[in-house]
Structure 1
Amino acid sequence: MTAHTTDRLPAALPRRSFLKMAAGSGFALGLYPLAGAAQGTPPATPQGAAVAAAMAGELKPSQQPGAFVRVAADGAVTVMVNRLDFGQGVHTALPMLVAEEMDADWRLVRAELAPAAEAYKDAGFGIQMVGGSNSIKSSWLQYRELGARARAMFVNAAAQRWNVPASQVRVADGVVSAGSRRATFGELAEAAMKQPMPASVTLKQPADFKLLGQPTRRLDAPAKSSGRQSFGIDLRPAQARVVLIARPPVFGAKLASVDDAKALAVKGVSKVLRIPLDRGATGVAVVADGYWPAKMGRDALGLSWNTDGVEKVSTDALLQRYSEMARQPGLKARVADTSALAGAPRRISAEYRFPYLAHAPMEPLNCVIDFRGDACTVTVGSQFQTLDHAAVAATLGLPPDKVTLNTAMAGGGFGRRAVPSSEYVVEAAQVAKAWRAAGGQGPLQLMWSREDDIRGGYYRPMHVHRAEIGLDAQGKVLAWQHTIVGQSILTGTPFESFMVKNGIDAVSTEGVVDTPYGFPIALDVHHPKVNVPVLWWRSVGHTHTAYVMETLVDELAAAAGQDPVAFRRTLLGDRHPRVRAALDLAVARSGYGQRKLPAGRAWGVAVHESFSSVVAYVVEASVADGQPVLHRAVAGVHCNFAVNPLTVEAQVQGAVLMALGTTLPGAAITLKDGVVEQSNFGDYTVARMNQMPRVEVHIVPSTEAPTGMGEPGFPALAPALANAVAALTGQRLRELPFKLA
């Protein structure tokens, strides 16, 4: 990998173009237009052209260190993290990128979650967001360039102070030196702030990294492990009231009547308000002095709902409908000649079923909002800060610059905090507006209970796959007709324009349409309209496509009389070296084929690429009391350069447990007559700590630009376990959660 050079910035800007931030004793290093320039009049100086260029948009806010880096007098370096951290580790990994190029003392590096602002938008998506395992991938160069620019400004400040050439100045661990002269970042911060922005910066080569690539403990680990970390649900301002909302039991039902007398009689209940909800419904909000009186008040409401004209979904009937659709031609996602199916000597017919799934993060949804009539402040663990900020402003009828959205640390999300309609944030704004109109004042904290979360919608879609595969006498695939049935996640969202083509939602087919194995697959898709709200869920389409493909590959290996690892290697050939490398590493480190397993155990193998990263699993499993038991999972990971190997390891460990949970009895959202049947962890299964297997994570060495790891650890685990069960029992598991005969 060669050094990266960027030269998108002008050679210099006047000293006044750097903004001194009133943030304690610190200074922010950044690039800002002059006051005159901001008003449309570039200054009459040699640098006027550069300022005019900034006004013309050539200088992006996301390139300016001033929005991202703050240096205090004691040398502490605070890095603004432009994305929500809800367990994936960007609160540490992004500051690592800055600190490496800045040559900061890691012991003095801090992190803060950034508010919604133009500077913090993802360059690829054009909005401030986290999703699709893009955080490190999208910020890899951006954050390093920010650190390199800040470093250059400190070098120039020192060179000017000591009257030496900049080439003689060195930086290490937050200390700038030239010969015997030394100064800390804190001592030079004010002078560095006044330096011109460098025209270009040259980034380090991987061989020169000191911090990046090293296992690094998370900055937020001490607070989280000791219980001192505040999450959104903890951030209730003084005098804030708590809000709970009664929502319709059937999606889309209308409120017919409400009797709030008993609710208002509950001590601590202040108001009962009717508010518009997402999807055209009406909700009833109970405002109270705390969570418990709000819950008691909501439970005491007398509510009736009108479901006329509303589809009342029942899971069994919907599955039957999907199964029938899977036997019919659909939209053409991939075309191949399947004429050999009719005369194939051997045939595999397989139907797979996947249920609706709730995200069920540890921390349910919540939002603090303070609407003051002419301005509003929102604090929320948002994955989509830009969309949520705009939605609050529109709901309240405020100019965007009158709304401040602060990002709170969140306890999980898995996609649930990234709703294109900004559902729960808009709910908070609707309550705040109604509360103020009713004479109420002060901040409100909207909270969802666990039951609200499980029953509240926006699930991983239910899917049915059907595969008809024709084989020759030796087990070679001659033709493959594949059909996927499931709701579109992206239709009707801002992502539809570039991720839904010819009516086909790209996230429904990922993992099949782009399989690395070279099978002659013809792929049809059906996107039925169903009255169940759906959303992305960790690893999105790969949650089901990887399972289908990797269990079928194992079945095909058996039909061909080949070892499942050797079969995959032959199919992959040399065309997919990263997939092959991850698989080979997992196999080598697991001992697969090299040692005998204890009686009653079997190997299971699967490998899958998602979000530009590859994860392969070799697992050891058994069956006890009619249920699979996962004992050990060895992962081979190819995510290119691993910024923080500990974060990669943690993401895979978490993904193993979450994926294991999808195989357990009760891991499904079901509906009857339009009503969700599950309500809490008593009837909606997630994996528990005592089910966690031994997990070993091994990373393929690479110096290429990193790819994502928030989601890729998930898809291949369940099929690897299913393949082990098939080796033990001969039963091919075609449904999640598992149902062993």
Structure 2
Amino acid sequence: MTTNISRRGFLKSAAAATTVLYVGANANGAAAASGRADAMLNPFVKIDSDGNVVAIIKHFEKGQGPATGLSTLIAEELGVTMEQIGFEFAPSNPELYNNLFFGPFQGTGGSTAMANSWMQYRTAGANAREMLIKAAADAWGADASSLDIQDGMVVGSGRSAPLGEFVSAAASFAPSENPRLRDPSEWKIIGNEKTRRLDSPVKVNGRAKFAMDVQLPNQMVVMIKRTPQRGGLVVSVDDSAAKEVKGFIMAMPLPTKHGVAVYAENTWAAMQARNAVEVEWDMSGAEARSSAQIRDEVLAALDAAPVYNVNEADRASVSTAVDGAATVVEKTFYFPLLAHTPMEPLNCTVEQTAEGDIVLHDGAQMPTGPHMAYQQIFELPPEKIHIKTMLAGGSFGRRATPDADYQVEAGLAFAMTDRSRPVKLVWDREDDVRGGYYRPATGHKVRVGLDAEGNIIGWEHQVAGQSIMKGTAFEAMAVRDGIDHSTVEGLADNPYTIPNMAVGLTDIEKATSVLWWRSVGHTHTAYVMEVMMDMAARAAGRDPVEFRLAYLEGGGKDAERKAGVLKLVAEKANWGQPAAGNVQGIAVHKSFGSYVAEVVEISGNPDDGVQIEKITAAVDCGIAVNPDIVRAQTEGAIGYGIGHAMRERITLDGGAVEQFNFPDYEVLRISDIKSIETHIVASAEAPTGIGEPGTPPAAPALANAIAQLDLRIAELPMAENGVSFA
């Protein structure tokens, strides 16, 4: 996966943006500056005559930091401070703002924001710098090579002036074929420990506008009465009781029959009216299984031969090797459905302009999806659909679905009206927990054979689970030879040099709707890999760190970097020397191009209560553009991974979700982890993901610590399988 974009490709997109986004254009088609001397010097940089610099951010901000990170790249290359740059979100335009890893698709996910934009945004800043310098050189009669931009001032040849003075003239220059990127020795902002987030002040003072904050004149609020079992269809609607609710407007079935849209003047009225609406459902095609039935299906699939061989190892010979081993370590694991539960429930607002254009206000994680859907719903060309991306209060994957589910709900609800009033769709927490998409239920069955010296001689690994990608628009891209890689990522492609490793996969029928969840398949594959490595090390009578390092020797740079974080975390956590009465567990995993190792130190015991005293993490994500964000994301990812392992699960009874809100879907509490300490590996490698990689090692590190108390957890959540927490 490359993190670069060709210079020529960048220049083509820059030229396109220049022509389109300038206010005026010359008769010959060349770009011209506007009367206000504002300039889009390329698709990612906008500067006005006052020298105000705006970074155009193609990845939405849900708390993970791209608004700051991508602005940092432009500020560094352009030569302005973080106080001199602002940001705004890019419009929906996959030709200019596509995710370079997703193809012709604009979207945020897979911890790709920094990795796919690293060279793109640096090049944008460097091009803007060179264009401004050329304009200054012409104005001053100076050699352009003697000039630079520092702290927002063009300086050199004994002169200085604000860069805003040269914006209009700079717009007449074509972007350079090869803009000079600043050498790392020149960096002032990239990697600076003191650089702070651009979005924090407005979030603290209340000026930040999240999607839920959208309040358009004369808008209606719509909430959806959903089927209690996924797949139920509306037969009839009785809104007579809802008419008694002050503020109720109307209730109509969605054209898909998947729910009833209940309209009201405000959110509270919509909630009350929705509760009052009576719906008759056709459940003939609805999900009817219980969680126990789904679990049984998964485990039964693990006992049968796999449908797909994930790697090229011969399963029969691997099985024979394990059968003949001096010691066999084996375990069967099960992982339940999980909800995403971001702090801001799903919502968006749709309106129609006087010109008949449709505008969607949304914390849009993948704008291309709803953009395409709205072309069909409203029968309009793409240029008549506009998406205004807002801040989002979390996502963890939930705001990006293959079918643009909640945006389609809002679009259909708006299309059913006369379109004279904007429609704001609001989900509540119960909708989120009961009517959403879930991390798939998955099982693993593993047998590891050790010889008399404790060396691995065979690893037989089988996975059964619900495919996220199959049956979606992403199947052609993500499924190869029948294998949905998102189910098995982190297994056959792990950096360990394990001999005779065979990985098999069987898909089972999906329960309700499944979706990527923070770190996707790595959420369960890392748990199984690291628990099994720990079990094998203990069976061999070897230290778990030393045992892992032995299987990273000779594996090239990939293994070296994984070994690097393992050694660093062991050193920083005082591995093997916990505080009196405490025990430790360790895990290490590579995901989204980054390497994270974690040590969890706990006190107490499973019967009376386990307390997490400290978690130490070591992270190698390449160049840490914003170290403060890297640490914050690692801490949040650890908390997310620990929380799901401790208490979280979604269960079904006759196809209906039993949980409804945080009282019975218990997320992490602030008292659950006393301390987290993160160490960043110094690196010259290109940046890789950081939003998700801290999640996969967290749960297995906790499990491996609890195992030192003679309880090996193979089924989650832990609170339902023998562990109480203080």
TM-score, structure 1 normalization: 0.90
1:556 corresponds to 2:533: no
2:716 alignment counterpart: 736
- Aligned mate of 1:572, from 544, 548, 552: 552
1:434 corresponds to 2:413: no
1:385 corresponds to 2:342: no
1:232 corresponds to 2:211: yes
- Aligned mate of 2:99, from 115, 122, 139: 122
1:643 alignment counterpart: 625
Structure 2 contact 297–508 (Cα < 8 Å) conserved: no
Q: Which moved more, 1:583-592 or 1:186-195?
A: 186-195
Structure 1 contact 86–411 (Cα < 8 Å) conserved: yes
The alpha-carbon distance between structure 1 residues 248 and 596, as it changes in their structure 2 partners (threshold 3 A), is closer
**3-state secondary structure, aligned to 1:261:** coil
1:149 alignment counterpart: 127
Q: How does 1:464-543 map to 2 (within 5 A)?
A: 464-519=443-498, 520-543=500-523
1:663 corresponds to 2:626: no
One-letter code aligned to 1:461: P
**3-state secondary structure, aligned to 1:196:** coil
Deviation at 1:309, TM superposition (A): 3.9
Could you tell me how far apart the structure 1 residues matched to 2:122 and 2:632 are? Answer: 23
Deviations 1:62-84 (A, max 9, x none): xx843321223332211111111
Structure 1 contact 18–193 (Cα < 8 Å) conserved: no
The alpha-carbon distance between structure 1 residues 9 and 533, as it changes in their structure 2 partners (threshold 3 A), is closer
Could you tell me how far apart the structure 1 residues matched to 2:15 and 2:613 are? Answer: 63
2:141 alignment counterpart: 163
2:690 alignment counterpart: 709
Structure 1 contact 5–203 (Cα < 8 Å) conserved: no
Structure 1 contact 374–398 (Cα < 8 Å) conserved: no
1:69 corresponds to 2:45: yes
Structure 2 unaligned runs (5+)?
Answer: 33-39
**3-state secondary structure, aligned to 1:572:** coil
Deviation at 1:536, TM superposition (A): 0.3
One-letter code aligned to 2:136: A
**3-state secondary structure, aligned to 1:299:** helix
**3-state secondary structure, aligned to 1:112:** strand
1:320 alignment counterpart: 296
1:305 alignment counterpart: 281
Deviation at 1:264, TM superposition (A): 2.3
**3-state secondary structure, aligned to 2:272:** helix
Structure 1 unaligned runs (5+)?
Answer: 23-31, 38-42, 52-63
2:339 alignment counterpart: 358
- Aligned mate of 1:545, from 514, 519, 525: 525
Q: Which moved more, 1:621-630 or 1:458-467?
A: 621-630
Q: Which moved more, 1:266-275 or 1:642-651?
A: 266-275
One-letter code aligned to 1:602: V
The alpha-carbon distance between structure 1 residues 693 and 655, as it changes in their structure 2 partners (threshold 3 A), is farther
The alpha-carbon distance between structure 1 residues 563 and 236, as it changes in their structure 2 partners (threshold 3 A), is same
The alpha-carbon distance between structure 1 residues 310 and 15, as it changes in their structure 2 partners (threshold 3 A), is closer
Q: Which moved more, 1:449-458 or 1:329-338?
A: 329-338
Could you tell me how far apart the structure 2 residues matched to 1:10 and 1:480 are? Answer: 49
Could you tell me how far apart the structure 2 residues matched to 1:17 and 1:551 are? Answer: 54
Structure 1 contact 9–197 (Cα < 8 Å) conserved: no
Could you tell me how far apart the structure 2 residues matched to 1:109 and 1:315 are? Answer: 51
Could you tell me how far apart the structure 1 residues matched to 2:16 and 2:45 are? Answer: 18
Could you tell me how far apart the structure 2 residues matched to 1:656 and 1:15 are? Answer: 42
One-letter code aligned to 2:292: D
**3-state secondary structure, aligned to 1:86:** coil
**3-state secondary structure, aligned to 1:435:** coil
Structure 1 contact 622–628 (Cα < 8 Å) conserved: yes
Could you tell me how far apart the structure 2 residues matched to 1:681 and 1:299 are? Answer: 20
Could you tell me how far apart the structure 1 residues matched to 2:710 and 2:473 are? Answer: 45
The alpha-carbon distance between structure 1 residues 173 and 4, as it changes in their structure 2 partners (threshold 3 A), is farther
One-letter code aligned to 1:650: A
Structure 1 contact 352–734 (Cα < 8 Å) conserved: yes
2:36 alignment counterpart: none
**3-state secondary structure, aligned to 1:662:** helix
One-letter code aligned to 1:302: E
1:58 alignment counterpart: none
Could you tell me how far apart the structure 2 residues matched to 1:163 and 1:149 are? Answer: 21
The alpha-carbon distance between structure 1 residues 303 and 516, as it changes in their structure 2 partners (threshold 3 A), is same
The alpha-carbon distance between structure 1 residues 8 and 398, as it changes in their structure 2 partners (threshold 3 A), is closer
- Aligned mate of 1:724, from 683, 705, 719: 705
Could you tell me how far apart the structure 1 residues matched to 2:457 and 2:281 are? Answer: 55
Structure 1 contact 313–673 (Cα < 8 Å) conserved: yes
Deviation at 1:704, TM superposition (A): 1.4
Could you tell me how far apart the structure 2 residues matched to 1:567 and 1:143 are? Answer: 41
Provide the identity percentage.
Answer: 39
- Aligned mate of 1:592, from 550, 563, 575: 575
Deviation at 1:423, TM superposition (A): 0.8
Could you tell me how far apart the structure 1 residues matched to 2:11 and 2:397 are? Answer: 39
Structure 1 contact 83–383 (Cα < 8 Å) conserved: yes
The alpha-carbon distance between structure 1 residues 4 and 67, as it changes in their structure 2 partners (threshold 3 A), is closer
Deviation at 1:35, TM superposition (A): 5.5
The alpha-carbon distance between structure 1 residues 320 and 712, as it changes in their structure 2 partners (threshold 3 A), is same
Structure 1 contact 370–443 (Cα < 8 Å) conserved: yes
The alpha-carbon distance between structure 1 residues 610 and 130, as it changes in their structure 2 partners (threshold 3 A), is same
2:382 alignment counterpart: 400
1:602 alignment counterpart: 583
Deviation at 1:305, TM superposition (A): 1.1
Could you tell me how far apart the structure 1 residues matched to 2:401 and 2:133 are? Answer: 44
**3-state secondary structure, aligned to 2:324:** coil
One-letter code aligned to 1:253: G
Could you tell me how far apart the structure 2 residues matched to 1:671 and 1:710 are? Answer: 30
Structure 1 contact 116–404 (Cα < 8 Å) conserved: yes
**3-state secondary structure, aligned to 2:424:** strand
The alpha-carbon distance between structure 1 residues 537 and 65, as it changes in their structure 2 partners (threshold 3 A), is farther
- Aligned mate of 2:393, from 411, 419, 422: 411
**3-state secondary structure, aligned to 1:94:** helix
Q: How many residues align?
A: 697
One-letter code aligned to 2:472: T
1:582 alignment counterpart: 565
Deviation at 1:123, TM superposition (A): 2.5
Deviation at 1:34, TM superposition (A): 5.6
Could you tell me how far apart the structure 2 residues matched to 1:140 and 1:14 are? Answer: 20
**3-state secondary structure, aligned to 1:74:** coil
- Aligned mate of 2:309, from 332, 337, 342: 332
Could you tell me how far apart the structure 2 residues matched to 1:88 and 1:9 are? Answer: 26
**3-state secondary structure, aligned to 2:222:** strand
The alpha-carbon distance between structure 1 residues 14 and 212, as it changes in their structure 2 partners (threshold 3 A), is closer
Deviations 1:518-540 (A, max 9, x none): 22221111111234110000000
Structure 1 contact 378–406 (Cα < 8 Å) conserved: yes
Structure 2 contact 287–512 (Cα < 8 Å) conserved: no
**3-state secondary structure, aligned to 1:201:** coil
2:37 alignment counterpart: none
One-letter code aligned to 1:533: S
One-letter code aligned to 1:653: E
1:59 alignment counterpart: none
Could you tell me how far apart the structure 2 residues matched to 1:460 and 1:35 are? Answer: 55
The alpha-carbon distance between structure 1 residues 10 and 692, as it changes in their structure 2 partners (threshold 3 A), is closer
Deviation at 1:14, TM superposition (A): 11
Deviation at 1:430, TM superposition (A): 0.4
One-letter code aligned to 1:346: T
The alpha-carbon distance between structure 1 residues 587 and 387, as it changes in their structure 2 partners (threshold 3 A), is same
- Aligned mate of 1:260, from 234, 239, 246: 239
The alpha-carbon distance between structure 1 residues 275 and 569, as it changes in their structure 2 partners (threshold 3 A), is same
TM-score, structure 2 normalization: 0.92
One-letter code aligned to 2:522: H
Could you tell me how far apart the structure 2 residues matched to 1:702 and 1:319 are? Answer: 43
Structure 2 contact 373–408 (Cα < 8 Å) conserved: yes
Structure 1 contact 8–200 (Cα < 8 Å) conserved: no
